[in-house]
């Protein structure tokens, strides 16, 4: 189904509630689940799939891909998709049989078959483990609560810095110091996991910690940085403007895709708090529109990957996930405080995604496009995972901006 052309914006013509757009989202979601289901291996873990769905030779499995698979297929099960249990069960077994470190506790970052490939203990991976536990519990998996409690204890003991109200980043396998690096990314996904865990368990600790993280980055840092968010920090949580790590996973400067994610998470937190008159809507809009204006490529379309601190493009490559996150926050804004500009951007992003990232023939989304807007493979092997792209189609299908687990019930039922 093709997306309708960009037309006049009016109350009755918003895409997010239009039947043809909702049908498009349902169709896209079902094709994604169909594409990724062959990731299931006969042995432990998951295959990595090529863009055409073939199994790649890579046997390295990282903690975030295991946990995201559990989370995504749990959302699918809630939404009424058939045959999700095998994927959820496989991921949960692998978390306990392979990622779980029986000697030192916590969860190992990467395995290659039965061998440890990268033994670091990363906050980024542990917060996704909390997310997987919450999603597993949401669908009644018998080990959901066990996983939540297990990783919660690890986060408390090794990662949460009470004085700062933030997560530190990384340790060696035996919990000796690995570095003094501090970063926004793990805290952003930590907020995502904390809010989900709160929705499932009702534990106030999770909501309080999410609020403290959001307060630091969006209440303190963002306003002082013209609504851009530096990625990297010192041990004392001062901005480290000179830091430049892995150009894909720890690039210098700012990453507009993370602004979209944090803006959406702020709206989720605000909703869970009862929508107080505390400026959250203003903050979410400032953050979202600063990133859209800085990152949108007027000549080629799409969103550039990273920006310098002044908002000029740094890494101009165009990936799928910033577009999915921009769709997510605009969907949230359209639900709680719709403005004409939200509709314009929502349509613009979906048109670009549909024409360049969505694989209409096989399902799933291509992870990157070249200068001509054609799928390419310079940074990513195959289609990395379902997590970003499935949420881009599920967020607009839910009625609210929080409690996504119950808001999804039956939306994809055939």
What's 346's DSSP letter?
A: H
Whether 218 has a pLDDT exceeding 70, the answer reads yes
Whether 400 has a pLDDT exceeding 90, the answer reads no
pLDDT at 249: 87
> Contact, 166 vs 174, CB < 8 A?
no
Q: Which two tokens stand for residue 120?
A: 């670091």
301 within a domain of the structure (yes/no): no
385 within a domain of the structure (yes/no): yes
Q: State the total domains in the chain.
A: 1
pLDDT at 68: 98
Whether 392 has a pLDDT exceeding 80, the answer reads yes
pLDDT at 10: 53
pLDDT at 372: 93
> Contact, 321 vs 327, CB < 8 A?
no
Whether 9 has a pLDDT exceeding 50, the answer reads no
21 within a domain of the structure (yes/no): yes
207 within a domain of the structure (yes/no): no
DSSP H helices, 55-139, are 63-78, 85-94, 123-138
Listing DSSP states for 14-78 in one string gives -GGG-HHHHHHHHHHHHHHHHHHGGGB-SSSSBPPBPTTSPBPS--EEEHHHHHHHHHHHHHHHH
182 within a domain of the structure (yes/no): no
**Other CB atoms within 10 Å distance of the CB of residue 50:** 16
290 within a domain of the structure (yes/no): no
- Of 47, 189, 232, 258, the active-site residue reads 258
Q: Find the mean pLDDT for residues 21-36.
A: 96
% of residues, the chain, pLDDT over 70: 97
Is 282 a known active-site residue? Answer: no
Tell me which H or E stretch contains 11: none
Range of the domain at 343: 1-39+317-403
pLDDT at 344: 95
pTM: 0.96
Cα of first residue to Cα of last residue in the chain, in angstroms, is 17
pLDDT at 406: 76
Q: Which two tokens stand for residue 62?
A: 């990282």
pLDDT at 1: 39
Strand, helix or coil at 46? strand
Listing DSSP states for 167-223 in one string gives E--EE-TTS-B----EEHHHHHHHHHHHHHHHHHH--HHHHHHHHHHHIIIIIIIHH
Is 258 a known active-site residue? Answer: yes
Whether 322 has a pLDDT exceeding 70, the answer reads yes
Integer Cα distance of 195 and 208 in angstroms = 9
170 within a domain of the structure (yes/no): no
CA 231, 198, 200, 262 torsion-angle sign: negative
268 within a domain of the structure (yes/no): no
Taking only the tens place, the pLDDT of each residue in 269-311 is 999 999 999 999 999 999 999 999 999 999 999 999 999 999 9
């Amino acid at each position: 189904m093709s997306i309708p052309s960009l037309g006049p914006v009016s109350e009755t013509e918003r895409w997010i509630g239009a039947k043809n757009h909702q049908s498009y989202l349902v169709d896209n979601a079902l094709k994604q689940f169909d594409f990724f289901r062959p990731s299931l291996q006969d042995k432990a873990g998951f295959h990595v799939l090529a863009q055409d769905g073939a199994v790649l030779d890579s046997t390295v499995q990282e903690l975030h891909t295991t946990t995201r698979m559990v989370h995504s297929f749990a959302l699918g099960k809630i939404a009424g998709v058939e045959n999700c249990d095998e994927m959820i069960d496989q991921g949960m077994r692998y978390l306990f049989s392979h990622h779980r470190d029986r000697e030192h506790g916590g969860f190992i970052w990467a395995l290659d078959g039965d061998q440890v490939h990268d033994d670091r203990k990363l906050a980024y991976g542990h917060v996704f483990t909390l997310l997987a536990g919450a999603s597993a519990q949401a669908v009644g998996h018998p080990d959901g609560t066990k996983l939540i409690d297990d990783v919660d204890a690890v986060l408390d003991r090794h990662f949460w810095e009470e004085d700062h109200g933030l997560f530190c980043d990384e340790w060696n396998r035996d919990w000796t110091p690995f570095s003094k690096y501090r970063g926004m990314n793990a805290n952003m996904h930590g907020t995502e996991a904390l809010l989900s865990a709160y929705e499932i368990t009702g534990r106030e600790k999770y909501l309080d910690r999410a609020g403290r993280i959001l307060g630091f980055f969006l209440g303190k840092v963002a306003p002082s940085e013209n609504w851009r968010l530096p990625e990297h920090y010192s041990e004392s949580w001062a901005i480290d403007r000179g830091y430049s790590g892995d150009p894909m996973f720890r690039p210098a400067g700012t990453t507009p895709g993370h602004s979209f994610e944090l803006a959406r998470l702020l709206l989720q937190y605000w909703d869970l708090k009862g929508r107080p008159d505390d400026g959250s809507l203003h903050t979410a809009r400032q953050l979202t529109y600063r990133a859209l204006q800085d990152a949108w490529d007027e000549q080629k379309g799409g969103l550039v990957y990273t920006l310098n601190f002044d908002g000029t493009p740094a890494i101009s490559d165009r990936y799928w996930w910033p577009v999915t996150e921009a769709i997510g926050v605009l969907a949230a804004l359209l639900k709680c405080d719709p403005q004409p500009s939200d509709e314009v951007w929502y349509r613009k992003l979906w048109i670009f995604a549909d024409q360049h990232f969505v694989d209409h023939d096989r399902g799933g989304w291509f992870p990157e496009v070249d200068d001509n807007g054609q799928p390419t493979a310079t940074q990513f092997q195959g289609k990395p995972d379902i997590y970003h792209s499935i949420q881009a189609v599920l967020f607009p299908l839910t009625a609210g901006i929080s409690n996504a687990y119950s808001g999804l019930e039956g939306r994809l039922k055939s």
